[in-house]
Amino acid sequence: MNLNLIHSLFGSSSPLKRSDIETYGRTTDPLVKNAVEQKAAADSFDADAMEGWEELGYDTGALNRLDKQFMPKSNLGWYIGGGLAVAGIVAVAVVVIFTWNSAEPESEALVQQAEVETDHEQLNITLDESDVVLPALIEQMHDAPELKQLQPSIIKQDFHDIEAIRRKEPPGPVAELPILELSTDRHRDVEIIRKHEQAKEIYLHDLKLIDYRNYRSQPQVKTRQMILTGLPADYEETGMEEQDPTWQEVNVPYIDFIDKSMRIFGQGNYKRALSRFETVLETYDMDVNARFYAGLCLYNLGEYDQSIPNFEACINGPYSNFDEEAKWMIGLTYEHMGERVKARKIFEEIEKEGGYYKDQATKKLR
């Protein structure tokens, strides 16, 4: 992997500077601390990063070796700034997101998240492929106008309300299908599970998911990761060597991969979330979770013609957990596409079937 490319991808600017973190750790002035805290609060990534920096004593010296590793030799005069941001907690791991500013603006900045493990000797950063680069087709997409998006907060509220209604109703049958021994190679779930039933659910980051741990034996997602190793400043002159970063094919536990994906989706990073859901579908092509949230990502990116097949796959898939939501989204998608006849037909079906979206469908039909 070309280090210049990685540096350019990490070259997006962040509201929180490394100097801000150092100042925050040194000063006793409450006004100065408050100013930095407000600056961090303006960005969810920086807000999370401050918790990680607290564990490090607000000492950014551990990143000096990484600066040298990622800074192209021909461009040492470039600004080294940016906040370090992070997502993920592994044992005593700290969460830090970091960026280096480049004098040349990027066409579109990627918010980078790194899962960081620290000890007294080195800083290891594990990057998923989607942390570094997006597929070309996804990279070219752009967020739809905000008024045409369905924000994660609205989706979470819908899930909460639907769950409250279900608790008042007699419980329906829940699929108790046998756990199947499946390899992590791409396979077609639909050939193995043909029923369309309500599956057991789990909520991650307040977003509903089918808990596939009940239906797959040791579910894993095949992806690529890179481990970057940097030595703290105190160890720069000890002669310890850094390893060159390389991509490795790995199998990540499904629940861990989907958890990070839902966090990214909830933060509104739809392109990066979409890339991760597509990675899931490369292993499990009928994964209802990935289909539904990939559809939502495409909807919020204004890629309406691509979102509908994902929602339809939910309705035609092995589990019924997202049937109501998927049909409603199909109606909204047709509406945004200007397909009024198709949209009206969907809303009429929703009104007739009843359910959570009945009243909203009725308003659409007026």
CB 304 within 8 A of CB 298: yes
CB 64 within 8 A of CB 84: no
**pTM for the full model?**
0.64
Q: Which residues contact 161 (CB under 8 A, 6 or more apart)?
A: 356
* pLDDT on residue 205: 95
* pLDDT on residue 292: 98
Which of the residues in the chain have pLDDT under 50? 1-13, 65, 70, 72-120, 177-178, 180-184, 187-194
Kindly state the tokens that stand for 331. Answer: 């109606």
* pLDDT on residue 136: 95
- The candidate with the shortest Cα–Cα distance to 155, out of 352, 337, 328, is 328
CB 174 within 8 A of CB 198: yes
Q: What is the domain partition of the chain in residue ranges?
A: 3-118, 146-222+269-321
* pLDDT on residue 193: 43
* pLDDT on residue 12: 45
The 10 Å CB-count burial string (b at 16+, else e) for 99-115 is bbbbeeeeeeebbbbbb
What's the CA gap between 333 and 299, in Å, rounded?
Answer: 7
Give pLDDT tens digits for 322-353: 999 999 999 999 999 999 999 999 999 999 99
110 alpha carbon, distance to own chain's centre: 12
Place of tokens 């756990």: 179
* pLDDT on residue 94: 38
Q: In the chain, what is the greatest distance between 2 CA atoms, to the nearest angstrom?
A: 74
CB 230 within 8 A of CB 62: yes
Place of tokens 């960005």: 43
Q: What angle do CA 260, 283, 162 make, to 5 degrees?
A: 55
Cα–Cα distances in Å, from 214 out to 132, 163, 174, 180, 255? 32, 20, 11, 10, 11
CB 79 within 8 A of CB 103: yes
